[in-house]
Every structure is written in C-alpha cells, then in structure tokens.
A and B are shown apart, each in its own frame.
Chain A
Amino acid sequence: MTKMLDYPEPETLAEALTLLAHYGGRAMFIAGGTDVIPRLKKKQICPEALISLNRVAGLGGIDLNGDLRIGAGTTHRAIEKSVLIRERFSALTDAVDVLGSVQIRNVGTIGGNICTAAPSADTAPPLLVLGAQARAVSLKGERMIPLETFFQGPGKSILTPEEIVAEFLIPAPLPCSASAYWKHQRRLALDLPILGVAVQLTLDKRTCPLPGNLNDEGSWPAIWQALAQERPVCREVKIALGVAAPVPMRARKAEALLQGQVLTPELLAEAARIASVEAQPRDSVRGEAWYRKEMVKVFVKRMVLKCMERIACGETPAVELPGKA
C-alpha cells in the first residue's frame, strides 16, 4: 500500500457505519482486501481510511433456518467447505470452487465479491438463480434488496454510501431442484471468467440417473433418449449470465420458453439460443462479444443438463474440470 492510511477496526456494525459517516465518503470498508488492496496499489481508489470489517460481530456464519443465511463476511473458503451449501445450493459451491485461488478464498468474502459489483463476480450468477436477497443495513434502518436489482452498472451497486450488506438470504429450494454454475476460463485458477452461466432448475419429478458424461456432447443423444421416456417437465428455471452484460443478468426470455414445458433437446437448444440473443457482452481482453454469445449457447444447455443430472442423483457431484475429455 502506498500513502498513509487510517485503519480503524470497529467491533460492531453501528460503529463501522458511524465511522463511515464520520469520514464523509473518504473511507472504504475492507474485509479480505483482495479487491480493495490491488485497486489501492494501482491508485484506482484513494481513500483516507480503510475501515476493517474483520472484528465486526455478526457478519459471519452459514445457517439454515428454513432459508439459508450467509453472513456477508463469510469467506469463499468457508462456503467451499460447507457441505450444506454443496448439497443444496450447489451453484454457489461451483463458483467458489473456481474463484481465484486458495489464498484468495481464505480471506475474500462473498459480501466483498457482490458489493464490488464487477460484471465478472463469480458469486453473482449463482446468487441470482438461487433467488438471493441482500440485507442492507444503515444507521437509519435496514432493507432487503433482491439481487436482481442490486447491480446498477460495472462496479456500481444500488447501495447508498451509508449502507453495508450484512448478510444474504436464500430461500430453501423446492423439491426436485438443483443448481449449477460454469465459469468459462482459460486457466484452472487465478482467472476472471470469459463467461459465467448459472442455472437453477426445478422439475416435476426426479428422473432416472443420466447415462453418459455431460462434458462429452457425443453422449447427449443417449442421455436424451433415456429422458424421452420420462418427459420431465420444467416447473421453474432461472438462468443467469456473468460477463455477458454490464451487470450480471437473468436471461428471462430463455427462462420463459422453458417454464412449464417438457424438456427436449430442441427446446433446450432454442432456449440457449434465445439466452445468447438476450446477452449483451462486449469485446474485452478475455474474449470477443461474438465468442461470448456462442458460449452462452453452449453453457446454458450444459448447465440445464447438469441440473438435471444433479436432480436425478439426489445429491450433487462436483462440476468437472474442463480439458480432460
């Protein structure tokens, strides 16, 4: 870090918010620091103080009480190790499994990932499809913010300068549901996504186990043949894309096509095509817009199938790493 900074360490949320107000916009919160410190070093931000959240009570914890509650200060590593989240909210585990590196995950927090509001935030598409809400707290009170409205632009959230996110609340999934997230990246770690695709799917029943390897499109005809007998109906589906627009987005037209329908390969392909039309990616160092749109088509199909595989198993195997097939 470069210039002289204050580093206050409040112990309650109220203290932290009071400090924030005291600095009048010239201070920033820091938890893990994996986004804040690099930006500070690159002089992209110049606060007078970094207000540490690491001693603030009540920002941690993962608990299930009907709904899932994840404290905003929960590290990605803690989420990675949570059996509860891996089994029932798997898209989020998929995301933290491939986020950064072990070193980053040991200190980086889900609150930081979401509040930094990069279009590439790996935990954003999963939280979107899981129907998450953020509980934002200020000295004047609190409010629940659905993740759909949270992101306002690259690096911009709907939070006012007086607010902080204390926790995320995720509704318990319906029976015969599963979720999955794919981070399309060139490296196996330490890379931002070229594209992120998350899906949460609810079927009308649990189907037979899917034969074949989902990563090998050659085995898909066999998979679909097995499913054709059972005619699984999509009760509900949510599809979210990262790095496909200025903010993490839902592909609502694609969702509408699938809702209430028997899932067939033709329908899924059409939904994936519609999602790629809905996406508005840009050219960047990691990939060009046309390529991202093509990959939306590929990974929407794969993640819906992944969800179907997970529903069929009743438990969730890990999303396989690429490049081995």
Chain B
Amino acid sequence: MKRKISFTLNGHTVQTEIDANLTLLALLRDQLGLKGTKEGCGMGDCGACTVLLNGMTVNSCIFPAMEVEGKTVVTIEGVADKEGNLHPLQKSFVEHGAIQCGYCTPGMVLSAKALLDENPHPTEAEIRKGIAGNLCRCTGYVQIVEAIKAAVQETEIASRCPQ
C-alpha cells in the first residue's frame, strides 16, 4: 500500500512514495540512495543506523518511514556543511584516531552531535551516557570519548575568541 510522504532531509524537502511497511533505514539507503547510515543489528540494539529526527537520535532500522512525515531528518551526509567543511566532531574523530573500521562512525558522530547540541559542556560521564546507544567493536571507545572531549574544547575556545 503506497503512501505519499513529505519531509526535510539534510536541509532539503523530499517528497516521495513509500510502502507503509518501510523502515526509515530502508527508505534512506535503498530508496534515496544515501548509504552513509549503516545497518548493524537491524533490531535497535547497536546504534549503527542512528539518524537525527527533529534533532533527536533514533534507530532508523526500527523506525517506520511513515513517521517522518512533516519532520526533519539529518543523516551523516548532512553533518558537514554545504561547502563540504567537516563538522568539528568529524575533524576531531579523524584527528584522534576514533575511526577504525568506520562502521559505527556515522551513528556515533550523530549521537555525539545530538549530545553536544543539547549539552555543549558535557562531563565525561554524560558523554559516555550520550553515546551508550552506539556500539563500537574496534576502538574500546577511548579515542571516541577523547575526540568528543576535544571537540567540546574546540567549540569552547572558538566561542571565546572574537570573530
């Protein structure tokens, strides 16, 4: 049963037709060709499929695509700016060796972004809680937490310097 939906994706309006039983992950990857969001477990247990919905993280593999109607979705493809400049978190991940196989990275960056958007000065405990829904089998999380802390400091320094 096909349904029309309209939503904002990475800053652009998207109008498309979907089957009512489609997940958001399938919509993004298979129908819209955005392969940055990954499928890990398919059950909402690993966070590899994390995207932002109205600024909040959700597991897109268990999220009905129908529910994005009228909402704003941001995937990893929408995190760098329009000129392709990396977000401070992305730069920090690269600089701190927080990416090994890279499979958890899109979801991890989005969870970190959502955390910092809501709480620009998190403690380490708050950082760990904020990314607790994203499993990484490579890094042991050490470099990921350091990268996030560094991005926090970068932003703090930048906000103190007059432009």
For the complex formed, measure the closest distance between the CB of B100 and the CB atoms of chain A, giving whole angstroms. Answer: 20
Q: Are the C-beta atoms of A103 and B20 separated by less than 8 Å?
A: no
- The range of chain A's interface size is 20 to 34
- Of A9, A33, A52, A104, the residue contacting B133 (CB under 8 A) is A104
Query: Nearest-CB distance from A124 to chain B (Å)?
Result: 20
Q: 15 A-B contacts, Cβ less than 8 Å apart?
A: A2-B21, A5-B20, A7-B20, A7-B66, A33-B62, A37-B64, A52-B64, A52-B66, A52-B67, A102-B57, A103-B58, A103-B111, A106-B58, A190-B47, A190-B135
Which residues from chain A sit less than 8 Å from chain B, CB to CB? 1-7, 9, 30, 33-34, 37-38, 41-42, 50, 52, 54, 77, 100-104, 106-107, 188-190, 321
Name the contact of A104 in the complex, choosing from B59, B129, B130 (C-beta under 8 A).
Answer: B59
Contact of B1 among A6, A34, A100, A103 (CB under 8 A): A6
Interface Cβ pair total, 8 Å cutoff: 90
For the complex, is B56 an interface residue (Cβ under 8 Å from A)?
Answer: yes
Scan B42-53; emit 1 where CB is below 8 A from any A CB, else 0.
111111001001
In the complex the two chains form, is A102's CB within 8 Å of B114's CB? yes
Does A5 lie within 8 Å of B133, measured CB to CB? no
Q: Closest Cβ of chain B: how far from A64's Cβ, in Å?
A: 25
- Give the interface size bracket for B toward A: 20 to 34
Residues of B contacting A: mostly: mixed
Cβ of B87 within 8 Å of any chain A Cβ, yes or no, is no
Most buried by B among A4, A100, A101: A101
Chain B residues within an 8 Å CB radius of A1: 21-23, 64
Contacts A7-B64, A41-B43, A52-B67 given; indicate if A77 touches B56 (C-beta within 8 A): yes
A-side contacts of B59, CB under 8 Å: 34, 103-104
A79 to B65, CA, bound (A): 25
Residues of chain A lying within 8 A (CB to CB) of residue B43? 38, 41-42
Closest 7 CB pairs of A and B: A101-B133, A189-B132, A7-B20, A37-B62, A5-B21, A1-B21, A106-B56
Q: CA separation between A54 and B54, bound complex, in Å? A: 15
- Residues of B whose CB lies within 8 Å of any CB of A are 1, 3, 19-23, 42-47, 50, 53, 56-59, 62-64, 66-67, 111, 114, 125, 128-130, 132-135
Expressed in whole angstroms, the Cα–Cα distance for A254 and B48 within the complex equals 44
The CA-CA distance from A42 to B61 in the complex, in Å, is: 13
Other-chain contact of A101, B20, B47, B53, B56 (Cβ < 8 Å): B47
- Judge whether A7 and B3 touch: CB under 8 Å: yes
Report B78 CB to chain A, min CB distance, Å: 17
Q: Are the C-beta atoms of A4 and B44 separated by less than 8 Å?
A: no
Residues in B neighbouring A50, C-beta threshold 8 A = 64
User: Do residues A188 and B132 form an inter-chain contact, with CB atoms below 8 A?
Assistant: yes
Nearest residue, chain B, Cβ from A104: B44
- Assuming A7-B3, A34-B62, A37-B63, what are 11 further A-B pairs, CB within 8 angstroms? A5-B1, A5-B21, A34-B44, A34-B59, A41-B42, A41-B43, A101-B133, A103-B50, A103-B57, A189-B133, A190-B132
Most chain A CB atoms below 10 A, which of B42, B45, B62: B62
Chain A residue at smallest Cβ distance from B49: A103
Closest residue to B22 on the A side, CB-wise?
A1
Nearest chain A CB to B120 CB, angstrom units: 16
| Min CB–CB distance B52 → chain A (angstroms) | 10
Q: How far is the CA of A34 from the CA of B19 in the complex (A)?
A: 20
Contact of A6 among B20, B44, B67 (CB under 8 A): B20
B64 touches A33 (CB 8 A): yes
How distant is the Cα of A77 from the Cα of B62 in the complex, in angstroms? Answer: 17
